[in-house]
Amino acid sequence: VDVVKTELESIYSKVREFSISNSIYPYPTMGDFKLDVDYSPFIYDIIQKREESKNADEIEVIEDIAYNSNLVAELKSKNPWISAVNRDKILKALVLADKMEDFLNYNRDVINFIASEKTLYFDKVAIESGIEKAVKAISKDGEDTLLDNSDFKEEVSKILSKIRDYSNYL
């Protein structure tokens, strides 16, 4: 319980700092952490949501990210034909525009998080070290430490291959 409380205090502190520095009011604050409340329904909802996201199709997630990305918006302004491309073909359009590798490099954090979710690596690090350290470890900045985890490395490679195979017309 103390670990959770400390983690929550840290997160809310960062929310407060960000909100104040960006003049965002009101911003969420942490209330009293009550130990006598039954959190079972909340925990069940989190577990359900976690299972849904763990089982989500990586391609659909990446297509959504690509379709709504600044890169695609920029490409649409330069290449009007991309505006006619549907969400389910946007990855193929990135290949045709020779921007797939740029997109993958820019979104490496997202791919890392998808892989860490599939391998449950995020859960392991979050339980051992807290959410903030888990996020840092899985982002691009912490990627070197992740490469020691063969399951994670294999999952990242599998996701990248799946994206490249799916988006290739040939």
Range(s) of the domain holding residue 146:
57-167
Residue 112 lies in a domain: yes
Residue 147 lies in a domain: yes
Residue 20 lies in a domain: no
Q: Considering its fold, how many domains does the chain have in total?
A: 1
| pLDDT score of 104 | 95
The position carrying tokens 């900045």 is 141
Q: Are 113 and 138 in contact (CB under 8 A)?
A: yes
Residue 125 lies in a domain: yes
Residue 67 lies in a domain: yes
Angle in degrees, CA 47, 53, 59, rounded to 5: 170
Which one, of 83, 75, 104, lies nearest residue 163 by Cα? 104
pTM for this prediction: 0.74
Contacts of 112 (CB under 8 A, 6+ apart): 138, 139, 140, 143, 146, 156
Q: Is the pLDDT of residue 142 over 60?
A: no
Q: What is the four-CA torsion angle of 159, 161, 163, 169, rounded to 10 degrees?
A: -170
Q: In the structure encoding, which two tokens stand for residue 70, read together? A: 């600044």
pLDDT of 27-85, one tens digit each? 777 776 566 777 788 888 888 988 888 888 999 999 999 999 999 999 999 999 999 99
Residue 84 lies in a domain: yes
* Backbone conformation region of residue 27, classed left if phi is above 0, alpha if psi is from -120 to 50, else beta: beta
Residue 68 lies in a domain: yes
Lowest mean pLDDT among 10-19, 26-35, 121-130: 26-35
Residue 36 lies in a domain: no
